[in-house]
Amino acid sequence: MSTHDQQGFLDFAIERGVLRFGEFTLKSGRISPYFFNAGLFNSGAALARLGRYYAQAIADSGVAFDMLFGPAYKGIPLVSATAVALAEHHGRDLPWCFNRKEAKDHGEGGSLVGAPLSGRVLVVDDVITAGTAIRESVDIIQAAGATLAGVAISLNREERGRGARSAIQEVEESLGVPVISIATLGDLVAHLAHDPAQTETLKRVEAYRAEYGI
Ligand code: OMP
């Protein structure tokens, strides 16, 4: 049973302009009536609060893991904020690391920064739509001889992946690990349904869900 506050998180994302409504072309080419831009949690207090939402969702999930990994670039502040919140609010001081996009050939070398990748690794990322980005993290973790324990994201868009199932289900089944999300498209629909001013947006989101949802 989840104890974290999905509706509070969505209010927070809308207030910060992170979650916007309009017309957006996704990485997959789909035209979406909403977009979640985690880069706009761009103040100290906003990032700290975001880290607490991630940490709570992770704690609620009960998933077992030994360390955290944030994929470059957007996963880097997310994983650091989550590591801080797990230590400060959940009594779990865990190692964490991130990758560089370009390998360095001098200085400390290597493409990983932070704690060495080992044991069961939880990936912290922003959004999964079609599941392309997450597969790169899996390659990095496996190349280091570590194991993927799961993936924690802000928003599960609950869209079909390459087949009939959702991209998240495909990731969960092909990789054999859970995907933890702070909020889902279902939570967003419930959120919009509570606000009479959002009737038109709700209609567009529901039409999009009918076309690309699961
Ligand atoms: P997939 O690789 O298709 O799973 O898409 C995930 C990536 O899409 C994210 O890491 C973002 O770069 C981007 N994205 C968002 O950030 N927010 C959204 O609401 C939708 C997308 C997207 O393009 O699908």
Q: Position of tokens 């080419």?
A: 29
Q: How far is CA 99 from CA 102, 139, 144, 200, in A?
A: 9, 12, 12, 41
- Reading the block at residue 65, the tokens are 């893991």
Residue 104 annotated in active site: yes
Instruction: Judge whether residue 206 has pLDDT over 50.
Output: yes
Segment 43-78, tens digit of pLDDT:
999 999 999 999 999 999 999 999 999 999 999 999
> What is the distance between the alpha carbons of residues 84 and 92, in angstroms, rounded to a whole number?
9
Tell me the best of 126, 156, 179 to mutate to test the pocket of ligand 1, counting ligand atoms within 8 Å of each CB and taking the most.
126
Total Cβ atoms within 10 A of residue 206: 15
106 belongs to the catalytic site: yes
Q: Give the position of tokens 């349904």.
A: 193
Annotated binding residue 36: yes
CATH of 3-212, one of 3.40.50.300, 3.40.50.10610, 3.40.50.2020, 3.30.1340.10: 3.40.50.2020
Note the pTM of the prediction, 2 decimals: 0.94
E strands of 105-170, at which residues?
A: 110-114, 120-124, 127-128, 147-156
> Which residue type sits at 42?
N
Place of tokens 């290597």: 110
CB of 161 closer than 6 angstroms to any ligand 1 atom: no
Tell me the mean pLDDT in the region 195-207. Answer: 96
Query: Does 26 contact ligand 1 (Cβ within 6 A)?
Result: yes
* Phi, psi (deg, nearest 5) at residue 196: -60, -25
CA 30 to ligand 1: nearest atom? 24
Give the whole-angstrom CA distance, residue 179 versus residue 102: 27
Q: Is 24 annotated as a binding residue?
A: no
pLDDT 10s digits, 29-38 = 999 999 999 9
**For residue range 115-143, what is the model confidence (pLDDT) as tens digits?**
999 999 999 999 987 777 788 899 999 99
Predicted local distance difference test score (pLDDT) of residue 1: 41
ipTM: 0.95
Tokens matching residue 86: 């797990």
